[in-house]
Amino acid sequence: MALQFTDANFNDTALAGGVSVVDFWAEWCGPCRLIGPIVEDLAKEYDGKVKIGKVNVDENPEISMKYGIRSIPTILIFKDGQVVDKHVGTTTKATLADKINAQLN
């Protein structure tokens, strides 16, 4: 299951080293509902290797503003606390897996 990142726990979880994948979303966002199951599947597949989670932009405005999230869904990939890749809009599971695997090598 994907982690729930918030303004309060973001630095201690998503940025705590290694690779993290963060899906910025909202309940009212149709494309977010399309990508949600993909994020959940990836969270299961990469369990123990990559931290994969979601940030609800309506409930966590600070972290959303910090990373300049203007469109959702936006997926940021972090490595050792730094943004190394970004994807805006819907995508395929294979595309996201490729982006994650590129950071693990």
**Known catalytic residue: 5?**
no
Report the C-alpha gap between 41 and 36 in whole angstroms.
9
Active-site residue identified among 15, 16, 26, 29: 29
Q: Is the dihedral of CA 51, 56, 60, 63 positive or negative?
A: positive
3-state secondary structure of 90: coil
**Known catalytic residue: 32?**
yes
Active-site residue identified among 2, 14, 22, 32: 32
Catalytically annotated residues: 29, 32
